[in-house]
């Protein structure tokens, strides 16, 4: 069995990413022995179709289950068509999410949990000048995400971006010293 998790980092201690199609990483985990593979999400910056591309990627890796914070309608349809169970509404460390799954505490759904284009503009440039107007702000009043969940997701995104920025700055410094 393989469980795919949308992740904000590349290991089991990373947080579950609240987005599926535009998550930072996918971890493909064997829940029996907790071995895993981490993949950077190549669909993260797509202007459209990220959910479909991500769903196809997960299906190509042979995952039986997806654990994520939210999934949009296109990703939901793609994963359902591939026979992949989708579990939404999950947050916290990936290791804990997998343990909850193994204990039977998480249940799959065949419905999207957010409207299309939910993850756009959450700190990832789309190349179309959309910024925050392309993401949460555009969906205010229509999003299925409560404000406290949105705040939590934004704080997690801030943490991820600061970590990436620090890695980039360290790498620049390293290269400049060579």
Residue ranges covered by each domain of the chain:
3-177
Instruction: Tell how strand 85-87 and strand 65-67 pair up.
Output: parallel
Cβ atoms within 10 Å of 175's Cβ, excluding its own: 8
Q: Which tens digit of pLDDT belongs to each residue from 37-72?
A: 999 988 777 667 878 889 999 999 999 999 999 888
pLDDT at 139 over 50: no
Torsion angle, CA of 90/83/47/19, rounded to 10 degrees? Answer: 0
pLDDT at 141 over 60: no
Report, as an integer, the average pLDDT of 86-112.
Answer: 91
Cite the DSSP H helix spans in 112-146. Answer: 136-139
Give the span between the Cα atoms of 114 and 18, in whole angstroms: 11
Report, as an integer, the average pLDDT of 139-145.
Answer: 39
Quick one: which of 111, 172, 135, 156 has its CA closest to 15? 156
pLDDT at 157 over 90: no
Strand order in the sheet with 3-7: 35-40, 25-30, 3-7, 65-67, 85-87
Nearest 5°: the CA angle 97, 120, 3 is 25
161 and 175 in contact (C-beta within 8 Å)?
no
Classify domain 3-177 at the CATH superfamily level: Dinitrogenase iron-molybdenum cofactor biosynthesis domain (3.30.420.130)
Report, as an integer, the average pLDDT of 93-118.
Answer: 82
Instruction: Tell how strand 65-67 and strand 3-7 pair up.
Output: parallel
153 and 145 in contact (C-beta within 8 Å)?
yes
Question: Is the pTM here over 0.75, yes or no?
Answer: no
60 CB-near residues (< 8 Å, 6+ apart): none
pLDDT tier for residue 161 given thresholds of 50, 70 and 90: low
């Amino acid at each position: 069995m393989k469980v795919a998790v949308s992740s904000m980092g590349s290991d089991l201690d990373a947080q579950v990413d609240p987005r599926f199609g535009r998550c930072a990483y996918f971890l493909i985990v064997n829940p029996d022995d907790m071995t895993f593979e981490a993949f950077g999400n190549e669909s993260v910056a797509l202007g459209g179709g990220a959910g479909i591309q991500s769903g196809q990627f997960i299906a190509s890796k042979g995952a039986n289950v997806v654990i994520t914070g939210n999934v949009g309608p296109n990703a939901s349809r793609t994963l359902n068509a591939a026979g992949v169970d989708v579990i939404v509404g999950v947050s916290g460390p990936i290791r804990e999410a997998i343990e909850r799954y193994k204990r039977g505490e998480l249940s799959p759904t065949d419905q999207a949990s957010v409207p299309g284009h939910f993850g756009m503009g959450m700190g990832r440039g789309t190349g179309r000048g959309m910024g925050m107007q392309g993401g949460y702000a555009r969906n205010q009043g229509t999003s299925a995400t409560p404000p406290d969940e949105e705040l939590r997701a934004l704080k997690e995104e801030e943490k991820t971006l600061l970590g990436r920025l620090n890695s980039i700055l360290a790498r620049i410094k390293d290269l400049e010293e060579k």
